[in-house]
A and B are shown apart, each in its own frame.
Chain A
Amino acid sequence: EPEVTQTPSHQVTQMGQEVILRCVPISNHLYFYWYRQILGQKVEFLVSFYNNEISEKSEIFDDQFSVERPDGSNFTLKIRSTKLEDSAMYFCASRYRGEQPQHFGDGTRLSIL
């Protein structure tokens, strides 16, 4: 069965540095998402992306965050200047369309030092 894959599984970065989290969605999917889960807290929606543009973003997704689908297969989340509070598990998801559910990757654990 096709899967959403995320790399790396664990990323350690110094505060203030830029970080890029990578995702390869399922190939025929049309909608792409990022969520995050701070340790011990619930999963939170960050952003949805469709037709090469952001279709919805949460208040968490401020100017420090950006998303891109540079080559038609990868879907990336960039954090420009990381803060300690960005430490979390980040999940990528993709969905075909209609009532099809979102499929999630295994996540990238981001640790900011």
Chain B
Amino acid sequence: AQSVTQPDIHITVSEGASLELRCNYSYGATPYLFWYVQSPGQGLQLLLKYFSGDTLVQGIKGFEAEFKRSQSSFNLRKPSVHCSDAAEFFCAVANPGGFKTIFGAGTRLFVKA
């Protein structure tokens, strides 16, 4: 069965510091991979997605993620974090042949001014 693990429940970084949020998945082949962000009072919003091809994908708001097949990982990164990035981040996978998207439990990002 597909699963998604986000090992960090919460992370705190200083404003201007770099960020990496970890995501590992379990799936037989290469699934579709996504990162969503959920800000307080806002709905979930797609940051970026990976289907195939270049393993480094760029998203909105300066985020990027790298797919590493050998590690079954799809970690999210940002070179310099801003206070406005404080939110909950969800990694998700979907079976290309199916209809279900599986979300991880989320990582809450706190940003210190």
Do chains A and B interact in one complex? no
Which B residues lie at the A interface, using CB under 8 A?
none
Q: Give residues in A with beta carbon < 8 Å to B.
A: none
